[in-house]
Amino acid sequence: MSNVSETIQKMGVVPVVVLNDAKDAAPLAKALCEGGLPCAEVTFRTDAAEESIRVMTTEYPEMFVGAGTVLTIEQVDRAVAAGAKFIVSPGFDPEIVDYCLSKEIPVYPGCITPSEVAQAVKRGLKVVKFFPAEQFGGVATIKALAAPYVGVKFMPTGGVSAKNLESYLSCDKIVACGGSWMVKGDLVKEGKFDEIKALVEEAVSLVAEIRNK
Ligand code: 3PG
């Protein structure tokens, strides 16, 4: 696995972040760092994504930040220029994947069918996103997909939370889970960064507990 995939695996959980205002990026990064999970997938679902990545990575250099919901090559360029260390897409877009590979940018496309995993394998990818995880059968589907594609591991997101994290992280085909449950939109909007920090701390202890079993 690449260094970036190894870092993601070490984290165990990647907070999926939707920021409407880049002014929230610094206090959020602080909460994530203090909570013990200096990591985020900042989604390009809002116009604030690029600036938020820039703020997080410059003001908190220990933050390991990737860009999520990347749907165009232009977004890849903007994300990387802002400091993103990896690119995540909800689906498998060959144009985006090939562009990232040509620039040696770590990329995690969403793959939920054998045909999509096959395209990833053909390009040498070792870790792919599995989204939306719960709706597409969760761990059972991942295990079935991983059986023929022995070298591939998955990063499920979509419907993962503290409640079902153990079932996912107990599977050796899963490197880490992404999720928004620690960084809910209303908590960010209301400036409840202490609550976010507490949810992050809970997730960090949960990962340690699951992995030490
Ligand atoms: C993603 O983009 O990975 C998902 O929207 C995260 O899903 P969740 O909100 O159910 O955690």
Give the tens place of pLDDT for each residue, 104-125. 999 999 999 999 999 999 999 9
7-38 burial: b if 16+ Cβ within 10 Å, else e: bbeebbbbbbbbbeebebbbebbbbbbebbbb
Identify whether the C-beta of residue 130 lies closer than 8 Å to the C-beta of residue 110: yes
**Among 157, 163, 200, which is best to mutate for testing ligand 1, by the most ligand atoms less than 8 A from CB?**
157
**Contact of 152 with 146, CB cutoff 8 Å:** yes
* Nearby residues of 97 by Cβ (< 8 Å), 6 or more positions away: 89, 107, 109, 119, 120, 123, 125
Which residue's CA is the nearest one to ligand 1's atom 7? 158
pLDDT at 1: 76
Per-residue pLDDT averaged across 193-213, rounded?
96
- The pTM of the full predicted model, rounded to 2 decimals, is 0.96
**Is residue 52 over pLDDT 80?**
yes
Give the pLDDT score at 34. 98
Distance (Å) from CA 111 to ligand 1 centroid: 15
According to the model, what pLDDT value does residue 2 have? 86
CA separation for the pair 194, 70 (Å, rounded): 29
Ligand 1 pocket member 53 (CB < 6 A): no
Q: How far is the CA of 64 from the centre of ligand 1 (A)?
A: 18
- Judge whether 6 counts as a catalytic residue: no
Report the 10 Å Cβ neighbour count for 50. 20
pLDDT tops 80 at residue 95? yes
The per-residue pLDDT for 103 is 98
| % of the chain beyond a pLDDT of 70 | 100
From the CA of 157, give the closest atom in ligand 1: 3
Substitution site in 43, 70, 180 for ligand 1 pocket (most atoms within 8 Å of beta carbon):
180
Cβ–Cβ < 8 Å for 88, 129: yes
Asked whether 182 and 203 are in contact (CB, 8 A), the reply is yes
What the block records as the tokens of 32 is 């994530």
Each residue of 11-21: pLDDT tens digit?
A: 999 999 999 99
How large is the average pLDDT for residues 169-197? 97
